[in-house]
Amino acid sequence: MNEIKKFKELLKNSTLLLAPLITITVPSISEMFSFLSPDFLIVDMEHSVIDVSLLQEILMASKPLPVIARIRGLEKNEIKKVLDAGVYGIIVPGIESVEEAKQAVSFSKIPPLGVRGVGPGRASKYGYRFNEYVKEANDSIVIVQIETKSAFEKINEIVSVPGLDGCFIGPVDL
């Protein structure tokens, strides 16, 4: 079983997990958090100035912890780049509908499950492990973030989207 599948099982079967939310742009902070052995890290790209290149540095500093990136929004190319950088999965903020949840899944999965392309980034060890990476690419975790009353009212339909691994509620937003 690959590492992402193992982590999915941990998410599915645990009642409590610890995950610091990283907003500080200094990779050493993430490395220090990794010494505390949280269950995983969340890198907040939505409410910080962290971009994909800085995310990659944070990933290297955080090893071997699983990292989930909360991206800026439902944007196909950002999803592809973040996943190719080597995160275990993504949190897509601002999801309002079943259709947007389906897009989040599609943008995260390679054919035939989705429309995502893959490149020789860090996740494939810069192409050295490309064939293995392609076989595991659809294991990436996809979590949607519900932030509005209208989305919350449709939550049962949204979370039933095939390929979706979870839902993150933005209590401050609500």
List, by residue number, the catalytic residues: 47
Residues 6+ positions from 66 with CB-CB distance below 8 Å: 3, 4, 7, 39, 40, 41, 88
Angle at the Cα of 122 from the Cα atoms of 28 and 119, rounded to 5 degrees: 145
Alpha-carbon distance of 40 to 88, in angstroms, equals: 10
The candidate with the shortest Cα–Cα distance to 47, out of 100, 80, 94, 83, is: 94
Q: How many CB atoms lie within 10 A of CB 11?
A: 18
